[in-house]
Structure 1
């Protein structure tokens, strides 16, 4: 049996849950995920938990925020003038709004506070600061193909 190591191509099912059991993401009812270890598809903090596993292994590990999506960064909460949201209509906390960054890429943020003249938007990853339960079932492990 081949164990998962750097550059292994792995077919797996995974589920991410919050500590209270709420499912954030899961492939168990869908098509399994296929990824290559070390290609950046999976945060390193998750990858290290599946290194060494073999086909047929299934386990759940707890991943701390540092290994998952990082801690909340207070610098990612920014204030905007309310007039910038003229087209958005009624603003309320919890709404997701989309901005474009300097490169034109879409940057989603969540409104955290609506004041008289200002709107506070949080650009932290929604899972920042959260401890996650990462369940994984390894379906297939292939040695890395070194394409020449």
Structure 2
């Protein structure tokens, strides 16, 4: 079976900034599962996976525009500490935190912590970076009607209701 729309795809990946050290990997854990064609992963990565089969490996390079976009200057905001999602023992410059917004929790990087207010860079931590993914396809199956209706994969490595 090849990867196509409405396939549930499970894969391992290693992510790095192009030419740099590994940033993230799921090699030692459950493969990530997603519903192909429903925008569940970066569009450039999803496009590069079309036609792959179980056991295939591939390196995919995504420009900032294909990944998390260019860095936006002026994306700095002062936010009350109470709007941070989760409990943090100590806030430090450079730390990535989750911030509650009208669109849900998003990641932001601390520029300057304070007792009541924190100055945050609201760019995605990978914005402006050319990213390289090394992927290995572990499983492909047809999506269930429920998965298609919900717009995401269910089960191991996917969404749990």
TM over 0.5: yes
Matched, 1:109 2:108: yes
Unaligned runs of 5+ in 1: none
Tell me by how many angstroms 1:71 deviates.
0.8
The corresponding residue for 2:25 is 26
Structure-2 change in CA distance of 1:96 and 1:28 (3 Å): closer
Tell me by how many angstroms 1:91 deviates.
7.2
In 2, the alpha carbon distance for the partners of 1:36 and 1:121 equals 33
In 1, the alpha carbon distance for the partners of 2:108 and 2:11 equals 31
SS in 1 for 2:51: coil
Tell me by how many angstroms 1:100 deviates.
3.4
Q: Please identify runs of 4+ aligned residues in structure 1 that moved more than 6 A.
A: none
Per-residue Cα deviation, 1:18-46 (whole angstroms, up to 9, x for no partner): 12432222111111111111233211111
1:24-103 counterparts in 2 under 5 A?
A: 24-79=23-78, 93-96=93-96, 99-102=99-102
Q: Under a length normalisation based on structure 1, what TM-score does the superposition of the two structures give?
A: 0.75
In 1, the alpha carbon distance for the partners of 2:130 and 2:109 equals 20
Report the more deviating stretch, 16-25 or 133-142: 16-25
The corresponding residue for 2:13 is 14
Structure-2 change in CA distance of 1:32 and 1:92 (3 Å): closer
Per-residue Cα deviation, 1:44-89 (whole angstroms, up to 9, x for no partner): 1110111111111001111111111111122422356xxx56xx9x
Q: CA RMSD in A?
A: 3.1
Tell me by how many angstroms 1:96 deviates.
4.1
Aligned length: 140
The corresponding residue for 1:126 is 125
Structure-2 change in CA distance of 1:98 and 1:26 (3 Å): closer
SS in 2 for 1:74: coil
